Chains A and B, each alone.
Chain A
Amino acid sequence: MLAEGSLQTEAMPVVEGSGFTAVLQRDLLLAFRHRGDIASPLIFFVIAVTLVPLALSPDPEKLADLAPGIIWVMALLASLLSVEGLFQADFNDGVLEQMVISPQPLYLMVLAKVIVHWLVTGLPLTLTAPLLAMMLYLPATGYAPLLTGLLLGTATFSLIGAIGAALTVALRKGGLLLSLIVMPLYMPVLIFGASSVQRAIEGINVSGPLALMGAILAFAAVVSPLASAGALRISMHG
């Protein structure tokens, strides 16, 4: 204890967890202010899917065959492109530094950022997918697993992408590098996601692979904020 000159104000203990909701609300507000940015991955998604029939053929049968794969690959790319900016703005304006040294747990703040990222990219991508599926003549039985899979899968993409974004945030040209390090980690999700749509069309029960995707999501939700928080602390040394 201090003998004299003791301080008039004792620092208030900060409420744990308020950082989570603070980041959640602030990022949602920011996303709302930058509504145009939300549209970009969506437009990318739609244009990229449109390229395939143009390059391949408009034959309904061929397209229906390829539809699950096309939609999944393009959703992966759209999510990947958008995840680059996850920490960038906060890094540039010094807010990230404040988050790292705040008494709030960084783990929860990262999780909040990822949740917002998913809400403004993964969720709209998933909701757009049926439209594109229709344009690619996806058989009706494929829709439910496509939606469920994308819902789980894009969330996992956001979580894994956060690790890459955190690792590359201090680098000036991090974008290409981010894709390089994150894409191999996306592959299991892509495999399970696209294959479960394929199998559902063939009339096979797909609750197995979808459950696995759920398990991967749960696992990523635990590990990714941890790895991202660690990576962000390292990025402070730049």
Chain B
Amino acid sequence: MTMIEKTHFRQPLGRSPFHPRIALLSQSEEWTSWNGYMAPRVVAKLSTEYFAVRSGCSVMDLTPMEKYRISGSDARPFLDRLVTRDISGLAAGRVTYVIWCNDEGKLIDDGTLFQLGQNDYRLCSQHHQLDWLRTSAIGFDVQVEVETQQVAALAVQGPTACSVLAEAGFDDLQALQPFRFQQSACSGLPVMVSRTGYTGDLGYELWMKPNDALPVWDAIFAVQGRYDIHAIGLSALEMVRIEAGFVMPGFDFNTAESTIRAGYDRSPYEVGLGWAVSLDKGQFTGRRALLAESARPAKRRLMKIVVEGNKPVGASFIYDRRNGRQVGEIKCAAWSPILKANLALADIEFDNGRLPRELWARIDYQRELKWHSAWARCHVSEKPFYQPGHRGLTPPNRY
């Protein structure tokens, strides 16, 4: 066990190994806490950072993301029982998106699951999961260790990401397919590279030892002259993940283990993640409850909606018509510069298992500090709002 230094209170937020570089680039000094780490909301300028993701190359420090190493002879059965999804296709070198529920079939968190080797896995999640993983480990020969601090991680995302990494000296990544990873190297330093991300664009996530963090960062930024590369913060990520239609546990819905009020937690079906539930794969925690839920008419769902007009959509209620019955609320929203549209995820109550025929948002907004109210029609989008064709190409486009 590592002792906490007696000076820890002077620095309540942890510093990622990349922090020295981000601090140098930071112009806006907009810092926030992400899992106890000091993380930038914006490094320099939000619009620059957003467009780095969409038309250049963005670099984001992912170290604060919770990382767990799962090993032992029962690691696979343990994971099979943990996650709702059929992971029989997962093999060494592959990554998959997974979600997990409590016994009542309510969502606890989501994450990406890497199979590093035989009986050796890494699970990355949004929130602390050690307690849940240890609870789930009862009856299995499995070890669960936190490796958040032991692994430095960087997301390199954007249409030119592959070219940037090649230029920065990374071993050949051309053939790396989405949801695969490989051991690579940069300036002689070992880096695991996965073709994964949270932006809906072409992108990679780099996993390395904390000591190698700064040399790898420097190698990438060394090619900044040839490519448009920007360090980005959580605000730009929020815009692009909404465009990509990704949900964020704890923000778009309350996670089960942190819910106090009855009915405030959500099932995978209720947040549009039913596709990640395989009821026929055999037992997993929450299966019985989800089986029962799937047989009932849907009560509610988190929907991707486009809100007409350009009024800033904040925390708004949704109605079934202008001045009608309140049927839901917006959980997160962003103005999409690339789509020129107001995008939102909204929690909407169904009527007898059906989506209300019309959806209207009542938007309260300020003009020079004076509040106004406006009605805006909402249109449901079943697909991700933004899904560029280049994101899935192997090999990716060269720039």
- Whether A and B are associated in the same complex: the answer reads no
